[in-house]
A = this chain, B = another copy of it.
Amino acid sequence: MSQPNNQSTIFDNIRIVLCQTSHPGNIGSTARAMKTMGFKNLYLVQPDKYPNAQATAMAAGADNVLDNAIVTQTLSEALVGCAFAIGLSARKRYLSHDTVNAREAALQAYEIAPSQPVAFVFGTEMSGLTNAELDCCQLLAMIPANPEYSSLNLAMAVQLVCYELRMCTLEANIHEPSGDAKTMPLATNDDLERFYTHLEETLLHIGYLNPNAPKKLFERMRRLYSRARLEKEEVNLLRGVLTLTQAPRKHTKY
């Protein structure tokens, strides 16, 4: 897998566990959501209908995740070998558990997953996790949602969690050279100064700047162009415009 360096164990050690899912389409969408973020270990605890054509259809190109899903009769079986299990809830209803948001939960999982498996556990579409399921989890995570409508689709919730996990791996790499930096060379400071001189000269030539007090307006122009972070080639394009602006009209390029 072409994951960020040294991160493959983390991607291997995350499990997504769906409990008693009613709609097979959600299982397929979950597989797809997981794969887009680089995850592959899907556990299904007593799914209502599975395998199922609708699940396969919704999985799109993530059928390998679906095909390798492990079906269990209990949540405990799905958690065998896990060092840490995090239950997901849309509402803050379980006073019994430490509750953090999904971002914080992902960070905690990210600390453990390099060495041991970590599970994220999702309840049914209608009512979420039962108390018995929750008792198998060490932490409760909430996705901050609109209090007036917190009805997140199950696969959407999986997508958000997997996204937060992936973001953890990227932020850990943040100081590494990314390799995909813009390749167009930026204009140097002296390129820019020559451009500004040319621009000022041209604005005086066309009578835009007041020769007795050119500074104020011109400073605003400089600021505007400096914000654009001009590339070398763009400075050349702009200077081409300035040259033609100053040229007598008949000597045009075309």
Give the B-binding residues of A (Cβ under 8 A). 1-3, 29, 32-33, 35-38, 60-62, 92, 95, 101, 103, 143-153, 155-156, 159-160, 163, 166-167, 170, 180, 182-184, 203, 206-212, 217, 220-221, 224-225, 227-230, 234, 237-238, 240-241, 244-245, 247, 249, 252-254
With the chains together, A236 CA to B101 CA distance in Å? 30
Decide if A103 touches B167 in the complex (CB within 8 Å): yes
Taking a contact as CB atoms under 8 Å apart, the answer to whether A146 and B38 are in contact is yes
Q: Check B206–A95 contact: CB distance below 8 A.
A: no
Question: Which listed residue (B92, B156, B230) contacts A156, Cβ 8 A?
Answer: B156
Bound together, the chains give a CA A148 to CA B153 distance in angstroms of 25
Shortest Cβ-Cβ A-B pairs, 9 listed: A207-B252, A228-B228, A38-B146, A206-B244, A227-B228, A207-B253, A156-B159, A36-B152, A35-B149
Contact indicator B149/A61 (Cβ below 8 Å): yes
State how many copies of this chain the complex holds. Answer: 2
**A2 with B234: CB separation less than 8 A:** no
Q: How far is the CA of A184 from the CA of B224 in the complex (A)?
A: 13
Candidates B143, B210, B228, B238; contact of A253 at CB < 8 Å:
B210
Report B-chain residues with C-beta under 8 Å of the C-beta of A247. Answer: 206
Are B230 and A224 touching (Cβ within 8 A)? yes
Known A-B contacts A217-B237, A227-B229, A230-B224; A207 and B244 likewise in contact (beta carbons under 8 Å): yes
